[in-house]
Homo-oligomer: A and B are copies of this chain.
């Protein structure tokens, strides 16, 4: 339904043409400094009309906080926030009174609810994501302050225009096992390790590889000129996530992450680490060997990271990276042969101004959902760790059960 999360819970509301859209964020830790500006920054990145590549509708989207804070500090109580809808009555959609837009939610919402809102598939509107982005900005601020966690997403492809070194070597049906690098180049992994949000925002496409960004621009303009649309992919990296997050068995880290990403409008695909292409690499080349970390922590890291920071559904402390596929927007002003609600064949050319490509604006949405997932999983794992740390050490176990180092750690500092 409209609530996500267990201990950090986000409930959103709002359609395109109602009074406002917004969210209640429940479970934010108390004592976090938070101002509307912390949230507005990401809302501005989501907002349409940022460049000539996106829809020119003017949505100011100022966040208004309702509760949960005093003197810019969170109280631990629910934070309600809203953004007013300036355009509360539909004008442009009159054909869609007769026609369900092909591949849009108009038809399925009517099938689901039996009533047709003026905005068609109302909650499927991209405006619904305002609440998510705001909630994600709060989670992200906490994660940054408490753990130094960084969440950076960027556009990795628009149509067939990919960042070149992100393209995987075509699979060959042959005797050559290939190597894991075929699935993920060294250059791309370097990008993931170092990319900043500033680099992402250098170009309106939010593709940090500027040469590719220019090609993407051309691709989007071509779609726009054709009254057509085009899809793309967003890649995201999360750095400095502690190990141990993710709940066996149904709420593995990648399962909840995939759930969150596939709940973003227009998404159709998700892969983590080496993803689909990695399935073609044999285990001997795909496994990530362990090595003692050089940071003096006495902990293990991995020399490679084809797993994308998650093994057995649980984070291992390495960078988490993943890719999401967004289909081409369904609403286009080019005429399409289709049928009316009552089955009458006809042709629909959607009026109004529509995004020819959503991926640049999807970047902060992906970051928001990623932050929410990490936040919720972190709270759950901390509940367990805190509980385990309060138990007396057990000294009678066989060596095979608990590692000697772990038992010593437990005795020394009281944490399990």
Contact = CB atoms under 8 A, between A and B. Distances in A.
B286 A328 contact: yes
A226 B112 CA distance: 52
A388 B287 CA distance: 37
A150 interface: no
Interface string A314-329: 1111000001011111
Identical copies of this chain, number = 4
A71 B401 contact: yes
Contact of A263 (B159, B250, B302, B400): B250
Nearest to A23: B24
A46 to B, nearest CB: 15
B114 A388 contact: yes
A280 B160 contact: yes
Interface string A241-256: 0011011111110111
A281 interface: yes
A20 B229 contact: no
A48 interface: no
A354 to B, nearest CB: 9
Contact of A330 (B162, B275, B287, B314): B287
A109 B314 contact: yes
Q: How large is the interface on A (under 10, 10 to 19, 20 to 34, 35 or more residues)?
A: 35 or more
A342 interface: yes
Given A1-B248, A70-B118, 8 more contacts: A13-B66, A76-B388, A108-B313, A159-B282, A255-B262, A265-B313, A269-B271, A311-B330
A11 to B, nearest CB: 5
Contact of A11 (B24, B170, B228, B274): B24
B269 A262 contact: no
Interface stretch (A25-33, A55-63, A198-206): A25-33
Contact of A24 (B2, B121, B289): B2
A3 B3 contact: yes
A308 B267 CA distance: 12
Contacts of A315: 108
A66 B278 contact: no
A352 interface: no
Contacts of A2: 9, 24, 26, 77-78, 248-250
A258 B373 CA distance: 15
A183 to B, nearest CB: 10
Nearest to A67: B18
A35 interface: no
Interface stretch (A37-45, A186-194, A377-385): A377-385
Nearest to A12: B249
Nearest to A390: B146
A327 B279 contact: yes
A222 B174 CA distance: 12
A290 B405 CA distance: 46
A7 interface: yes
Interface string A339-360: 1011111000000000000000
A277 to B, nearest CB: 8
A144 B279 CA distance: 32
A142 B387 contact: yes
Nearest to A344: B292
Contacts of A382: 382-383, 386-387
A195 interface: no
